[in-house]
């Protein structure tokens, strides 16, 4: 009987140790203290080491957020003349180009897959972040369907690579120094440098109060746009 009681005590002690260890591992998961899982992938959904990373990249099986890898191309980084020299593109032209891209992608995805809570585009230069488009849907089912279908699509002449992302809180993913104009790492910073859209477009897409689905397209395939926004042939983007 005493032997049985001793075993019970040791069993309870062992159970408490396992519980404490599980609680500790859960508390450090995805942080710098976690020596098993990559904290950068957990926070940003990308890692500069890629498959060579010494820590695990735990890709989610369900999430509200998807990432479209390297989808946005900043014309200031890619514009060239016929002889291969760099072509100057003004900041105004870049913003117009970006707003058109953002509206195209946002509206297309919301019409096809469901309500979008948030969409962000990286303006970083590192290969693992450059041009990444993060889309957070209201429902996980919409995100799952979007990934399944978008991986069979092309956009603006390039194949779309979509996957579920662990990122749900972009405040943890963003470079705070960049937001304050103080980041010294420039475009190769390992935290997100999110490019903002114009205020008018933000009001148009997000507005105030409950957001509604975009109106159905007309028989010509064109969508209503703000009258004061120009859309030149050079700034047209491919549809999904």
Tens digit of pLDDT for each residue in 163-188? 999 998 898 889 989 988 899 988 89
Per the domain annotation, does 222 fall within a domain? no
Q: Does the residue 232 lie in any domain?
A: no
Pull the structure tokens for residue 70. Answer: 């390297």
- Position 234 in a domain: no
For 73-110, write each residue's pLDDT tens digit: 998 876 554 455 566 789 899 999 999 999 999 999 99
Q: Is the pLDDT of residue 222 over 60?
A: no
pTM for this one?
0.72
CATH number, domain with residue 191: 3.30.70.330
Domain count, the chain: 1
Task: Please give the torsion angle defined by the CA atoms of residues 198, 92, 172 and 186, in that order, rounded to the nearest 10 degrees.
Answer: -170
Q: Which domain holds residue 13?
A: 9-207
Res. 59 pLDDT band, cuts 50 70 90: confident
Q: Is residue 216 part of a domain?
A: no
Transcribe the chain into DSSP letters.
Answer: -HHHHHHHHHHHHHHHHHHHHHHHHHHHTTSTT-SSB-HHHHHHS--TTGGG-SSB----SS-SEEEETT----HHHH-B-TTSPBPP--HHHHHHHHHHHHHHHHHHHHHHH--EEEEEEB---STTTTT-EEEEESSHHHHHHHHHHHTT-EETTEE--EEE-S---HHHHB-HHHHTT--SSGGG-SSB-BPPPPHHHHHHHT-SSSPPPPPPP-TT------TT----GGG-----
Model confidence over 3-20: pLDDT tens digits?
556 666 666 656 565 555
Is position 214 within any domain? no
Within a domain: 96: yes
Spatial distance between the Cα atoms of 103 and 109, rounded to a whole number of angstroms: 10
């Amino acid at each position: 009987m005493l032997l049985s009681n001793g075993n019970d005590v040791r069993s309870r002690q062992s159970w408490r140790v396992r519980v404490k260890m599980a609680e500790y591992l859960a508390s450090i998961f995805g942080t710098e203290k976690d020596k098993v899982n990559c904290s950068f992938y957990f926070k940003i959904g990308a890692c500069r080491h890629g498959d060579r990373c010494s820590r695990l990249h735990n890709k989610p099986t369900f999430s509200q957020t998807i990432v479209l890898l390297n989808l946005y191309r900043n014309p200031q980084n890619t514009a060239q003349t016929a002889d291969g020299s760099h072509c100057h593109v003004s900041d105004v032209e870049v913003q117009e180009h970006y707003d058109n891209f953002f509206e195209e992608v946002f509206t297309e995805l919301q019409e096809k897959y469901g309500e979008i809570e948030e969409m962000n585009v990286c303006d970083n230069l590192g290969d693992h972040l450059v041009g990444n488009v993060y889309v957070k849907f209201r429902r996980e089912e919409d995100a799952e369907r979007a990934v399944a279908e978008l991986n069979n699509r092309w956009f603006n002449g390039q194949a779309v690579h979509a996957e579920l992302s662990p990122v749900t809180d972009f405040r943890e993913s963003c470079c705070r120094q960049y937001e304050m104009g103080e980041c010294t790492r420039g475009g190769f910073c390992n935290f997100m440098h999110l490019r903002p859209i114009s205020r008018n477009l933000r009001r148009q897409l997000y507005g105030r109060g409950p957001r509604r689905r975009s109106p159905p397209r007309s028989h010509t395939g064109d969508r209503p746009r703000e009258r004061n926004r120009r859309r030149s042939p050079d700034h047209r983007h491919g549809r999904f």
